[in-house]
Structure 1
Amino acid sequence: MADEGREATPTSVRLREGPLEVRTMYTLETREDTIRIPAEYIRRGRRLEDHIDELAHDAFECRFDENENFTLLTFDHEAVGRGKIIHGDGAIYQNVRFKALVFTMENNEVVDGAVSEVSEYGAFVRIGPMEALLHKSQILDEPIQVNLGIKRIEGSQSGRNLGEGSFVRSRIVSKSINHNDPRSSKIGLNCKMDGLGSFEWIGEED
């Protein structure tokens, strides 16, 4: 998949360690790729262009690309050149140029998110369209108590806590992307370092 152009959007930001670097989590890209138009679509008697939007949405949206970036939506689909028919297949393979809204994240990158769920394992944090696990062993340098009754994780010494809805800054420490089933992808977080953790803790440090 070739990127023909990239335009940053101001939807959200994330920060790297060291010199301050502001990066957008979302980018708007112009891409070109190939869709397969099955023979039954052609027999419906509609123009080729009438099928492109539907098939492009199905082929590219809510998927990770080869660079492990997540495509949320595509639009402005445009056929490029003539489609090709492969012998014995019957379908048309058509190059398409389109705009794509893409979410990106990298290992060791510092990201902001909100706690969506507290479990016995720790806190699940919503980062854009993805959910990542902030394991209870990666939250504080002290024993942790998880209270599922009130959906809260609390340090036994400092009293610092996280609950559903808490905003947290953390570092991505692991990614295991499942291209076949994006929902089952696993992203691990850590917020033990200085400058990380609940926004309330960061405010106390300042």
Structure 2
Amino acid sequence: MYFLVNVNEKVRVPPKDFGGKLKDTILKIVQEEYEGVVDEDLGLVIAVTGVGEVGEGKIVLGDGAAYYRTELELLMYKPLMHEVVEGSITEITEFGAFMRISPIEGLVHVSQIMDDYINYDAKMPGFIGKKTGRKLTVEDEGLARIVTISLKGNIQNSKIGLTMRQPFLGKEGWTKKDEKKEKDAAKAKEPVKEKKEKKG
């Protein structure tokens, strides 16, 4: 889920950056420092979108830099448990498929790809369902549900676990087959209307 958040931070402006427009200088510094960083409570900082009010600068002895209490607006991404996300398969390995879900990748473990016995084909590379014949390869797009989240420090150390095994999840096209299956099952459960014979 994406959202905007306002935070108040103490921003260090080194002496080499004195003299320019203060808000522009602070924006450049915080973009380099914050973007791509993961906060366990707030999520991943996608972008610093603005600098609000800037307080009085304070110079610390022995440092030479000025510190400004600054209001920042951040664009954040925080994955939520059980959230259904749309993504694209970026890599296939024998233990699963990596799916890009916006700014971060998640892993769909081989046991969570589909409700079928599947074979890994290293030449494709991809997975093939034994009964259904469904295939999953690189660049396929589809829906998955977030089942585990571990956010640590930066994108590289963060891990997201996904499942595509539930109904209406998976590669585009699989969901249409699931919908047809549901409709057919519902029709089969409908009571049969008896036709009355005309007496003549």
TM-score (norm 2): 0.79
Match of 1:110 among 74, 84, 109: 84
How far is 1:49 from its partner?
3.8
CA deviations over 1:1-23 (Å, ceiling 9, x no partner): xxxxxxxxxxxxxxxxxxxxxxx
TM-score normalized by structure 1? 0.77
Amino acid at match of 1:131: E
Aligned partners of 2:23 and 2:51 also within 8 Å: no
For the aligned residue pairs, the C-alpha RMSD in angstroms reads 2.1
SS in 2 for 1:106: coil
- The DSSP-based 3-state class of the residue aligned with 2:173 is helix
Aligned to 2:13: 37
Which is strand-richer, 1 or 2?
1
Say if 2:173 is the partner of 1:200. yes
- C-alpha separation in 1, matches of 2:165 and 2:23: 52
Query: Which structure has more helix as a fraction of its residues?
Result: 2
- 5+ residue gaps in structure 1? 1-24
Corresponding residue of 1:58: 32
Which runs of 5 or more residues in structure 2 are unaligned? 180-200
Which stretches of structure 1, 4 residues or longer, exceed 4 Å deviation after superposition? Answer: none
The reply to whether residue 77 of structure 1 matches residue 51 of structure 2 is yes
Paired position in structure 2 for 1:169: 143
1:187 matched to 2:160: yes
Aligned-residue sequence identity (percent) comes to 33
Paired residues in the alignment total 179
Return the letter of the residue paired with 1:53. Answer: L
**Matched residue, 1:15:** none
Q: Bigger CA drift: 109-118 or 61-70?
A: 61-70
Q: Say whether the 8 Å CA contact 1:68–1:177 is kept in structure 2.
A: no
- What are the Cα deviations for residues 30-76 of structure 1, in whole angstroms up to 9, with x where unaligned? 3332222234434xx44544521211111221112241411111133
Partner of 1:141: 115
Q: Where does residue 27 of structure 1 map in the other structure?
A: 3
- Whole-Å separation in 2 of the counterparts to 1:195 and 1:109: 14
Give the Cα separation in 2 of the matches to 1:189 and 1:50: 40
